[in-house]
Amino acid sequence: MKLTFLGTRGEIEKRTRRHRMHTSLMVSYRNADVMIDCGLDWLGKLRLLNPSAIVLTHAHPDHAWGLKHGAPCPVYAPQKTWQELRHYPIEDRHVIEERTPAKICGIIFEAFPVEHSILSPAVGYRLSGGRARIFYVPDLIFIHERSAALKGVQIYIGDGATLTRSFIRRRGKALIGHSPVQTQLTWCEKAGVPRAIITHCGSEIVTGDERKTSVIIQTMGHDRGIDAQLAYDGMKLTL
Ligand SMILES: [Zn+2]
Ligand SMILES: [Zn+2]
């Protein structure tokens, strides 16, 4: 399995060379390229990328609005996400049921609901192909069934909206926002996940001194026995 971080920018104004495009991951396996998320930055650029399929985590602008004019391939998303995108001219729609593994181009995707937004409910995906096993969750406060989600995972790919500060707000009984990288690394430690890659970078990362930030992330990982690093646009990885 090959991973290409097509974009690593969160829903912020600022962009840099390393974090130019909205967060998206291309998962290549055998002869297929499956794109996870397609934010507004990708509008009009899909023909060039030519994905075999697109899978969505939620309907926020930085994850789904690149499909405003439709898609050149099948698109997979949870029912709640389709509800929001019902007016999009996407022809080949597929529903992903939560906690039900589904094979997409030979890769098994299992959606785990995560706390993040009331209006745009989000999921994270547990992916497996061959012996590779990863968990991809660009936006979250927490995973509802975390131990099942992270069991046996080799790489956790998580939310870089904030490093140590909390971005969590209360709305009635629900919570909205993002958990810090620090918290996510503690989950990895508890679940025995050996490696973490941080994507969906917020302004703390994008506007800050990235060399310093990288050291902070590496150190937070090291303290927990995890190899932790920051992703950047174009970063490639083979599992
Ligand atoms: Zn986002
Ligand atoms: Zn979001």
* pLDDT (0 to 100) of residue 174: 87
Q: Which of 79, 68, 71 is nearest to 111 (CA)?
A: 79
Q: How far is the CA of 16 from the centre of ligand 2 (A)?
A: 20
Q: Distance of alpha carbon 134 from its chain centroid, rounded?
A: 11
**Closest-approaching ligand to the CA atom of 177:** 2
Mode of pairing for the β-strands spanning 2-7 and 24-29? antiparallel
Q: How far is the CA of 60 from the centre of ligand 1 (A)?
A: 6
* pLDDT (0 to 100) of residue 93: 98
* pLDDT (0 to 100) of residue 173: 85
Q: How far is the CA of 138 from the centre of ligand 1 (A)?
A: 7
Q: How far is the CA of 10 from the centre of ligand 1 (A)?
A: 5
CATH code of the domain in which 9 resides: 3.60.15.10
Kindly give, in sequence order, each residue whose CB lies less than 8 Å from that of residue 36, ignoring residues fewer than 6 positions away. 24, 25, 26, 27, 54, 55, 56, 57, 125, 136
Q: How far is the CA of 217 from the centre of ligand 1 (A)?
A: 20
pLDDT digits (tens, 9 = 90+) for 119-168: 999 999 999 999 999 999 999 999 999 999 999 999 999 999 999 998 99
**Closest-approaching ligand to the CA atom of 202:** 1
- How many independent structural domains does the chain possess? 1
Q: How far is the CA of 121 from the centre of ligand 2 (A)?
A: 8
As to burial, measured by CB atoms within 10 angstroms (0-12 exposed, 13-18 middle, 19+ buried), residue 25 is buried
Residue range(s) defining the domain that contains residue 42: 2-238
Q: How far is the CA of 154 from the centre of ligand 1 (A)?
A: 23
Positions of the chain with pLDDT under 50: none
Q: How far is the CA of 165 from the centre of ligand 1 (A)?
A: 17
Q: How far is the CA of 20 from the centre of ligand 1 (A)?
A: 14
Q: How far is the CA of 137 from the centre of ligand 2 (A)?
A: 10
Residues facing 229 on adjacent strands: 197
Indicate the pTM of the whole model: 0.97
